[in-house]
Structure formats: structure tokens, C-alpha cells
Amino acid sequence: MHGVIPDSSKQRFRDIYPLVPARMAHGFADHPLLTLDALAGLAARMRPDTLEHNAAIDVPLGTPTTKLPPNGLTTLQTIEQIETCGSWVLLREIEQDPAYAVLMADVLGELRPIIEARTGPMHKLRAFIFISSPQAVTQPHFDPEYNILFQAHGAKTMTLFPTADDQIVGQRFFESYFAGGQRYLPWREEHGQRGQAIAIEPGESIFVPLFAPHHVKVHEAVSVSLSLTWCSAWSFAAIDAHKFNRRLRRLGLSPAAPRLFPAGNRVKALGERAAQRIERAVGR
Ligand SMILES: [Fe+2]
């Protein structure tokens, strides 16, 4: 498979990567690996620790993941009943399956020259599938990698927020997240006004910038989306800078926020990596 990203979308991506959310087009919504039957087969083959599902309708924005009600079904049953069970399924790291690894490599291969020209070599390439009931909601959160969400079936609206809006995600939240804290953002109604809503249907995709908070709502039909993610030396350094800032804050300091792309965070990242080496050496 090749030629699935039209030239106009490659040009758009070249213009916006890695800072600006954008809607683009793609040509593989009807790929046989993205049907519900194929995905039920995939879920049955996957490592159990990479399957997730939750009830996902009538849940207010800001509900922590740990408080989402279970739907009483297995992941496979949830996929089979997705039309009616008001739920959300996440298949994580589907590149564990060889056929899906090829799909990921084919699609990201078309974008690799554009990505690597801006943010250097790609690392930690991963693929995820979201299967959602009509009206399902994904709670506000951010992700520590670059992401393109490709819509295969149904439609959804993602509302994205600026990466560096500290009214929405304060530095302390980033720091606790990277220390293993909760992933879902505390939510206040007034955050809504700062968001940019982008709707996608089959054949469309959204680029989600690194750390950009977002929430998602599915429209009136079952939705299937493929999310392809990657990291860079820049993104790793930004994460390490957040971790180093947590150390500085513990010492009573008020560190500056990590710098925004294209400025780097080399000094703090080196500090964090040195501190981790020392901790390992002393067995902490
Ligand atoms: Fe996300």
C-alpha cells in the first residue's frame, strides 16, 4: 500500500508540523484491516494487557479514568455490541500484530521525510485503534507523543487546546503526570471557550501536536479511528525537562516551564538523565 496521503495533505502537514492542529485527508478508510470484524479478530490475538474498554456515554467531562463505570462486558463483547453498549474500546500497540505493523509502517513511511526534516529521527512508532459507540466521549487528556488520528468509519469531533495554555494544564500537572500521576485533566467549564473543534469523517485525519490537551465526542454512528504516534529527541528532552523541574520544585525552587519548539531543553534533560544515573547507582 502506498500513495494513501494525497499531495495536498502532505503539503498541509509540511506547513503545520509540529505545532499546529490540522485536518488532512487520507485514502485508506476502506482498508480491510479496519473493519469491525477484522478488529474483533485483532483484539482476540492481542496481549490482554493492551486491551482497554469503558462505558463512555453520559459521563461528564473531567471524570477521572478510575471513576469511569465498567460496562460489565469483555473487550471482545464490547466490540461485538458497540452499536448499542455505550462504550469505548482502545486497542493499544496494535503493531504487535504483523499485518498492522505493515499498515503503520506504510502510512508513517509516507510522512517520514516531512517529520524528520523538522524534528529529526522518529522514535517509538506506535499504532492504536479506537472503536466507539455513538455519542461516546473521550475525557480531556494530553498525550506525550505526536499523533495523527485517521478516521475510518463514523465521524467524531476532537476539541483541541493550546499546548502551552497554563490555565488548562499547569506545570505541576505535567510534572506529576510524568512522575506517574493521573492522565486525565481536571476540567472546568470555562476551558471550553479556548478549544478548537475539528470534525472528521472517513477519509480525514487530525494532527494532534505534542502535549496538546483534547477531548473527543463521537457523532451518531459507530466510530473506528486509527491513531499513529511517534516521538523525537526533542519530545524526550521536553519530558525530561518536566521531570527535572519536579526535582527543582521539591528543592523549593520555581523553575521556568520547559521551552517550546523549536527551542530545546538540553540542559535540563541532561540534568534529569544524570540524576537518574546517580539514583540507579545508589540503588534508589
Ligand atoms: Fe489522545
Same domain, 195 and 263: no
Query: Is 2 inside a domain boundary?
Result: no
CA of 73 to the centre of ligand 1 (A): 23
CA of 143 to the centre of ligand 1 (A): 5
Same domain, 144 and 185: yes
Same domain, 27 and 156: yes
Same domain, 103 and 154: yes
Query: Is 16 inside a domain boundary?
Result: yes
Same domain, 262 and 174: no
Bond before 48 cis per omega within 30 degrees: no
CA of 279 to the centre of ligand 1 (A): 32
Q: What is the CATH number of the domain that holds 121?
A: 2.60.120.650
**Domain end (from 214, 231, 248):** 231
Question: Measured in whole angstroms, how far is the alpha carbon of residue 57 from the centre of its chain?
Answer: 20
Q: How many domains does the structure of the chain reveal? A: 2
CA of 139 to the centre of ligand 1 (A): 9
Same domain, 129 and 244: no
**Domain end (from 216, 231, 246):** 231
Those residues with Cβ within 8 angstroms of residue 254's Cβ, 6 or more apart along the chain or in another chain: none
- Distance separating alpha carbons of residues 150 and 204, to the nearest angstrom: 6
Burial of residue 6 (number of CB atoms within 10 Å: 0-12, 13-18, 19+): middle
| Segment 104-116, tens digit of pLDDT | 999 999 999 999 9
Same domain, 123 and 50: yes
The pLDDT assigned to 67 comes to 81
| Segment 176-203, tens digit of pLDDT | 999 988 877 888 888 888 899 999 999 9
**Domain end (from 207, 231, 255):** 231
Instruction: Look over the chain and give the mean of its residue pLDDT values, rounded to a whole number.
Output: 94
Same domain, 243 and 213: no
What pTM does this model have?
0.95
Query: Is 1 inside a domain boundary?
Result: no
Residues with pLDDT less than 50, the chain? none
The pLDDT assigned to 47 comes to 97
Query: Is 26 inside a domain boundary?
Result: yes
CA of 281 to the centre of ligand 1 (A): 35
The pLDDT assigned to 188 comes to 84
The pLDDT assigned to 182 comes to 81
CA of 207 to the centre of ligand 1 (A): 11
CA of 2 to the centre of ligand 1 (A): 26
Distance from first CA to last CA of the chain, Å, rounded?
48
Query: Is 50 inside a domain boundary?
Result: yes
The pLDDT assigned to 123 comes to 98
CA of 243 to the centre of ligand 1 (A): 21
Query: Is 11 inside a domain boundary?
Result: yes
CA of 210 to the centre of ligand 1 (A): 10
The pLDDT assigned to 82 comes to 98
Domain that holds residue 74: 7-231
| Segment 196-246, tens digit of pLDDT | 999 999 999 999 999 999 999 999 999 999 999 999 999 999 999 999 999
Same domain, 165 and 246: no
CB-proximal residues (5 Å) to ion ligand 1: 143
Same domain, 250 and 209: no
CA of 138 to the centre of ligand 1 (A): 8
Same domain, 82 and 210: yes
Query: Is 202 inside a domain boundary?
Result: yes
User: Which is nearest to 24 in space by CA: 140, 114, 116?
Assistant: 114
Same domain, 123 and 213: yes
- Distance separating alpha carbons of residues 204 and 156, to the nearest angstrom: 11
